[in-house]
Chains A and B, each alone.
Chain A
């Protein structure tokens, strides 16, 4: 039985998989980055399907609209050219490819087992108010800790980038 939800899910899933494949197979960095944008936006669609509207909007604003824009910006700034395609080395051909296949099957098997008996998601949408109450009341310590961590990472990146200048 294909309900509209399942149909939308299938379309989005197909877009995500196609985008992810295109991300790996494209030869130009900009095209890869754009494929990743497609994946991010389609993921937002999946969140929306689950009724998580706030998460969906934030997914687009932060990942597709901010992080990926910076990726594209840096690629443009460096004017990176097309990747050269090297032949697959012997090691990669005889060890890497089989191992990759084994890993893929393994992951698929475990995901399939773990999600075989899941309860369906609650039907009603999670309101932004509930989410923020949870975030700023119950989980305020981990929340602040995370933001602090990100701030430290930011400063670290600045220090590393500035070091060349001082020398």
Chain B
């Protein structure tokens, strides 16, 4: 097998990684919708999806099936080719950008082939992500134009103008991090954040030296929410003004593709925020003897979550739930025990911390959506051009000054 792997590294290593990542990503997208509906519901004192499966856990599946079996209506006056191209463009671009995200340190070995965790490790990883997100505007703009209908056109115009404006601030806001890391390579950006102040406080870029990128992080966060067209910057689909914006005329799975693209870019942006400002896969605890127990947090987290699920599950309302939830809990417990094994626990450190941080950012995304009212369009444009862009340039200037000052 090892010889075969050495002869065909693409077939044995890269292709399975792509397939697995796609599977995980699409499942995560589906459950992100469930997560968002649950969190927003609880913010608004509701229960959210509850009927399809215990705690509505089968809701994403039901939604997916519904999208597949809906009638696919194409407007008669639509520009057919562009109308079909737009959702494909949106979804494929949004998914592609995950390919350069590193989920853990190097050191994954499959059949004797060393390979990075993540599909590829590019020297220009960050630039590739920006290139892909900058192409993402086409999906929205073309969808709005090709539907040949007034609300989609207005929505498409709005959101492409918004994405063009905020892309500048987004790109400029990470320049500080690039200057501090001295690289576009996402893995190197993460490894440049290793180390602890006084042995305890992690030197992540948010509080890194020579200049803490707090300003950069907030600029990045705001610009990223706007770039992904999410509330409070979701003017593209301001339903009180524009029906549903650029995807008004899309039905069935083509609509679902726009939806998946939006959630996928949410995940990408959360991954980027984690990598650029919060140390990526690095553990927040130093590797000293005092903190040796933190090495087992991933396994313990799975096991505890499983136990909680069992305890909660046996008292669930429906019989079906009383069967399914404890089984899920047992599976999680088993996963925890499996993760506790000596070889596995080292391997899982990076991905665990990385995904935990990404999950926190996704929660913040939903939290912001559930909390803040939508901006007015002129406020949005003013804010982007007159506040975010100058501040991000200012951030670049002071970061460069700080670097020059400390290197003298």
Say whether B128 faces chain A, with CB atoms less than 8 Å apart. yes
Residue from A66, A70, A72, A128 in contact with B124 in the complex, judged by beta carbons closer than 8 Å:
A128
B157 in contact with A73 (CB, 8 Å): yes
* Sampled A-B contacts (28; CB under 8 Å): A30-B142, A31-B81, A31-B82, A34-B138, A34-B142, A57-B124, A57-B128, A58-B127, A61-B127, A61-B130, A61-B134, A64-B131, A65-B134, A65-B137, A65-B167, A66-B134, A66-B164, A66-B167, A70-B164, A72-B141, A72-B142, A72-B145, A73-B160, A76-B144, A77-B157, A127-B123, A128-B123, A128-B124
Chain B 145-182, CB within 8 Å of chain A: the 1/0 string?
A: 10000000100110011001001000000000000000
Report Cα–Cα, A53/B120, bound state, in Å: 15
Say whether A9 faces chain B, with CB atoms less than 8 Å apart. no
Report Cα–Cα, A34/B79, bound state, in Å: 13
Chain A 27-39, CB within 8 Å of chain B: the 1/0 string?
A: 0101100100100
When C-beta atoms are compared, the residue in chain B nearest to A73 turns out to be: B160
**A29-58 with Cβ < 8 A to chain B:** 30-31, 34, 37, 41, 53-54, 57-58
B138 in contact with A72 (CB, 8 Å): yes
Say whether B184 faces chain A, with CB atoms less than 8 Å apart. yes
Say whether A69 faces chain B, with CB atoms less than 8 Å apart. yes
Report Cα–Cα, A69/B163, bound state, in Å: 10
When C-beta atoms are compared, the residue in chain A nearest to B160 turns out to be: A73
A73 in contact with B131 (CB, 8 Å): no
Say whether A60 faces chain B, with CB atoms less than 8 Å apart. yes
From B128, B135, B144, B164, name the one whose CB has the most chain A CB atoms within 10 angstroms: B135
B123 in contact with A53 (CB, 8 Å): yes
When C-beta atoms are compared, the residue in chain A nearest to B134 turns out to be: A65
When C-beta atoms are compared, the residue in chain A nearest to B133 turns out to be: A65
Count of interface residues, chain B, beta-carbon cutoff 8 Å: 26
A34 with B82, Cβ < 8 A, contacts A66-B164, A72-B138 known? yes
A65 with B131, Cβ < 8 A, contacts A37-B138, A76-B156 known? yes
A76 in contact with B134 (CB, 8 Å): no
A69 in contact with B184 (CB, 8 Å): no
Q: How far is the CB of A81 from chain B (nearest CB, A)?
A: 11
A76 in contact with B145 (CB, 8 Å): yes
A57 in contact with B157 (CB, 8 Å): no
Interface of B: prevailing SS: helix
A69 in contact with B160 (CB, 8 Å): yes
When C-beta atoms are compared, the residue in chain A nearest to B123 turns out to be: A53
Report Cα–Cα, A72/B144, bound state, in Å: 11
Report Cα–Cα, A64/B131, bound state, in Å: 9
Interface size, A (range): 20 to 34
Residue from A28, A57, A69, A77 in contact with B137 in the complex, judged by beta carbons closer than 8 Å:
A69
B160 / chain A contacts, CB cutoff of 8 Å? 69, 72-73, 76
When C-beta atoms are compared, the residue in chain A nearest to B141 turns out to be: A72
Q: How far is the CB of B41 from chain A (nearest CB, A)?
A: 36
A69 in contact with B128 (CB, 8 Å): no
When C-beta atoms are compared, the residue in chain B nearest to A76 turns out to be: B145
A69 in contact with B164 (CB, 8 Å): yes
B127 / chain A contacts, CB cutoff of 8 Å? 54, 57-58, 61
B141 / chain A contacts, CB cutoff of 8 Å? 69, 72-73, 76
B124 in contact with A54 (CB, 8 Å): yes
Report Cα–Cα, A88/B319, bound state, in Å: 78
A61 with B131, Cβ < 8 A, contacts A30-B145, A76-B144 known? yes
Q: How far is the CB of A156 from chain B (nearest CB, A)?
A: 20
When C-beta atoms are compared, the residue in chain A nearest to B168 turns out to be: A66
Report Cα–Cα, A89/B86, bound state, in Å: 38
A76 with B130, Cβ < 8 A, contacts A34-B82, A127-B123, A128-B124 known? no
A34-B82, A72-B141, A73-B160 are known contacts; what are 10 more A-B pairs with Cβ within 8 Å?
Answer: A28-B79, A37-B138, A54-B127, A58-B127, A66-B164, A69-B138, A69-B141, A70-B164, A72-B142, A128-B184
A73 with B134, Cβ < 8 A, contacts A34-B82, A53-B124, A57-B127 known? no
B153 / chain A contacts, CB cutoff of 8 Å? 76, 79
When C-beta atoms are compared, the residue in chain A nearest to B135 turns out to be: A65
A69 / chain B contacts, CB cutoff of 8 Å? 134, 137-138, 141, 160, 164
